[in-house]
Amino acid sequence: MENPANDHPRVAAAALLRHYIANSGVFLISTAGAIVVVHTAGNPSAIDNDPAYALAAFLLFLLGIWLVLIALVAEQFPRAATVAVAIARAMSDYLIGGN
């Protein structure tokens, strides 16, 4: 028997937004890891010579963790979820060129 709550459009939209926020957070965490791997694979001292890459990777990692955590508690904090959706859309437009 299906859950009747899944038929409601608001519930489906909220679930879709939570999924979008979580996916954006995972993407940012993966991007941070890729930055670290790319800049240390060829030359291990690359991070030592230019610490801006490490700082950018760390900030993207923190933002990704924040988005994933907000996706888990989006029902309790609707304003924070709204901010997270705006950040996720802006970052996806900037990093991967839109939806």
Task: Dig out the tokens for 35 from the structure.
Answer: 């930055």
| 1 located within any domain | no
| 12 located within any domain | no
pLDDT digits (tens, 9 = 90+) for 27-58: 889 988 888 888 777 666 655 667 788 888 89
| 92 located within any domain | yes
Work out the percent of the chain whose per-residue pLDDT is above 90.
12
- The pLDDT confidence band at residue 1, using thresholds 50, 70 and 90, is very low
pTM: 0.74
| 42 located within any domain | yes
Q: Judge contact between 25 and 49, C-beta under 8 A.
A: no
**Domain total of the chain:** 1
| 13 located within any domain | no
| 7 located within any domain | no
Whether residue 12 is predicted with pLDDT greater than 50 in this model: the reply is: yes
- The pLDDT confidence band at residue 92, using thresholds 50, 70 and 90, is confident
| 16 located within any domain | no
Q: Judge contact between 12 and 80, C-beta under 8 A.
A: no
